[in-house]
């Protein structure tokens, strides 16, 4: 598998690895949503209303959706995550409560930007510790 495939899989699994209390499987779609290549962009956006920016994969095409509109396209998952986090920062959006822990993990662990919210997020801390442990373990 390519590094891009691993990155995409990791991003899609992140909301389940740092879950929100009492949130179901559909909550993950508030961070990342994946559809088949044949899917219609506007239909995918309108199928489920999301008030916060999110990443939408249609096949191998990566879109950043903001306010129910395509905002940007990216070539890699890494670029899309950077774009997503930048969108929250630049436009002063509040993190979606449905995937707040995943976003706090990205903010604090991946981008190294800690604040009061990320410092008090127990699930982000636990997942960060697990990632660090895996990095130092030999398989």
**pLDDT value at position 10?**
92
With CA atoms as reference, report the closest residue to 128 among 83, 93, 111.
111
**pLDDT value at position 76?**
97
CA–CA gap between residue 54 and residue 96 (Å, rounded) = 10
- Per-residue confidence in pLDDT tens, the chain, 139 aa: 899 999 999 999 999 888 877 666 788 999 999 999 999 999 999 998 898 999 999 999 999 999 999 999 999 999 999 999 999 999 999 999 899 999 999 999 999 898 888 888 888 888 888 888 888 876 5
CA–CA gap between residue 54 and residue 82 (Å, rounded) = 12
pTM: 0.88
- 3-class SS of residue 7: helix
User: Radius of gyration (Cα) for the chain, nearest Å?
Assistant: 15
Q: How far, CA to CA in Å, does 62 sit from each of 72, 76, 134?
A: 8, 7, 29
- 3-class SS of residue 86: helix
Write down the domain spans for the chain. 3-136
Long-range CB contact pairs, 105-112, < 8 A, 24+: 105/14, 105/18, 106/14, 106/81, 110/81, 111/85
């Amino acid at each position: 598998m390519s590094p891009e495939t691993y990155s995409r899989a990791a991003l899609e699994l992140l909301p389940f690895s740092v879950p929100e209390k009492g949130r179901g499987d559909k909550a993950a779609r508030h961070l990342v949503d994946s559809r088949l290549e044949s899917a219609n962009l506007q239909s995918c956006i309108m199928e489920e209303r999301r008030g916060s920016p999110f990443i939408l994969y249609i096949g191998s095409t990566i879109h950043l959706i903001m306010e129910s509109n395509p905002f940007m396209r990216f070539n890699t998952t890494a670029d899309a995550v950077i774009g997503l986090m930048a969108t929250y920062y630049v436009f002063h959006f509040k993190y979606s409560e449905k995937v707040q822990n995943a976003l706090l993990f990205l903010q604090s662990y991946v981008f190294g930007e800690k604040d009061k919210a990320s410092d008090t997020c127990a699930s982000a801390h636990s997942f960060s510790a697990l990632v660090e442990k895996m990095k130092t373990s030999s398989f």
